[in-house]
A = this chain, B = another copy of it.
Amino acid sequence: MQSLVKLYPIETRTPSLGDNTGDLDRLKKGLSGSLRGQNPVVPFYRIAPVAEAFRQSGFKGYAVAIHVPGGGVRLVDFYAQAPEILVGMALDLGTTHLEASLVDFLSGKVLERAAVENGQLEFGTDILARIHFAATKVGRQSGLSLLHERVMDSIHTLARDLAMRVGLEPTQIMALCVSGNTTMAHFFLEQNPYHLCREPYIPVVNSPDPFSASDLGLDLHPAAIVMVMPSIGSYFGGDLISGIVASGLDQQEETCMLIDVGTNAEVVVGNREWLIACAGAAGPALEGGVARMGMRAGPGAIEHCTIDPDSGKIEYQTIGGAPARGICGSGVIDLVAGLYLARIIDIRGKFRPDQPQAAGRLLAKEDGFAYVVVPAEETDLKEPILLSQVDIDALMRSKAAMYSILATITNQVGVSFHDLHRIYVAGAFGKHISPRQAIVLGMLPDLPLEVYTPLGNSSLAGAELMLADEAARKRCREVVAKVTYIELNVNQEFMLRFSGSRIIPHTDHTLFPSVPFQGES
């Protein structure tokens, strides 16, 4: 297997009047055997440091070469002594958080992981706000340039942190693989995102060629190779390609599905023969972004809860066991499923204040009822945590969108839900969600629970694989060539299915045989 970054031990004759080759030419000549005739290219700004290090080391030591995916070898550094580790950085460029890890090219292992908040948050919590901000001016600086700077700062923070933990300088990081949605990739590359959110939604570039850290002013090794996971379109980013590679969807004999849920739900169905993808707006409810007490998955977020169907008594767990501060996406799903099973809401998701299980739990507010999830005295904030009718309505739209997307894409490729061998669920949503409660709501299809497989941060995992595994790099290119993308924004079938999905669990409740139907009781 060809390592992306590789050490080549070398020892040459020392220069003499009878052997007066140039220093760099001598080094290249000495490497020609190991490189099997491939001519390594020394980037211009590495000529002096590489030649000097080779001379200072007495014409023996370890050459560092980058095997550029797509062709070519770059000779970028020279060490007198063999280093213990030789690292690259994998990066999940999330809208709210950046998560990164160091991959050791010598052992193939992941050494350290770290995360920071995305420094762009102050310019907009959601992607659309940032795209608009990009077009503005702040003093003499463009919004785009400012957004780019912030994401660079966040990356540098991660690089310093990770490098320090393994006893290196950030300038010893030899590679970076970036995985993020298409807009974040544009901000990273400082490309104009203007057309990303305007029909027909065209990126400046989906598959940028690998470049060098110095091209972008990244404070890594100046010749570090920077790879950006390719995207398929404005709404199907490199993070999803990472997910496909990390899950192995593209290698499965049986048809599987990959779901990544954020503000958009992105879905891929396929196997080793074919891959169909689509994306649709799911609304921010599933990220905990809409409920007034909603929050992203973090300490104090209610991630799970149950409501006794008879007594209406609620029990909940928070992330980290901390006092409750809000509800994250998985908590909202559990909660609304519980409210439905306890008949506190009806099949349309509306509160039923006359139900005994709702007793003492519903507050009448200006815009309708609100359910007291946690009374004020039990919270950290000394305010009750509430779930309002507005919040539930938002979730109902999200769950309807989610199911409609899944139904539309499977129908388009002529696959039934029961044909799906596995459903991989990416990200925090996949990690925290109870598939059972999502099924109760009619958000996910009524399949055996073992079909649902959480993936964790597959955006980061895909980037790690790109660094560590040549086969993954090859698969990535193949996946991009293979994926067929269906645009749901203009899909009539999706619109029709959406209407039918705004009932719990569904207008056609035979689709959800495992869920008690509580209509018209």
Using CB atoms and an 8 Å cutoff, list the residues of chain A in contact with chain B.
15-25, 39, 41-45, 47-48, 51-52, 70-72, 189-192, 199-209, 211-212, 215-216, 231, 233-234, 485, 487, 489-490
Contacts and interface: CB of A to CB of B under 8 A. Distances in A.
A25 B490 contact: no
Given A22-B203, A22-B233, A44-B189, 17 more contacts: A15-B200, A17-B201, A17-B489, A22-B206, A22-B207, A23-B203, A24-B204, A24-B208, A39-B71, A44-B209, A44-B215, A47-B191, A47-B208, A48-B192, A51-B204, A71-B71, A72-B72
Given A22-B203, A42-B209, A71 B70 contact: no
A192 to B, nearest CB: 7
Nearest to A48: B191
A206 B24 CA distance: 8
A437 to B, nearest CB: 35
A43 B211 contact: yes
A42 B70 CA distance: 13
Contacts of A15: 200, 202
A200 B17 contact: yes
A189 B47 contact: yes
A93 to B, nearest CB: 17
A22 B208 CA distance: 10
Contacts of A71: 39, 71-72
Contact of A215 (B45, B204, B490): B45
Contacts of A45: 215
A207 B41 CA distance: 11
Nearest to A233: B20
A369 to B, nearest CB: 41
A383 to B, nearest CB: 45
A231 B24 CA distance: 12
A52 B194 CA distance: 12
A127 B39 CA distance: 32
A41 B16 CA distance: 40
A189 to B, nearest CB: 7
B200 A25 contact: no
B487 A24 contact: no
Contact of A487 (B17, B43, B212): B17
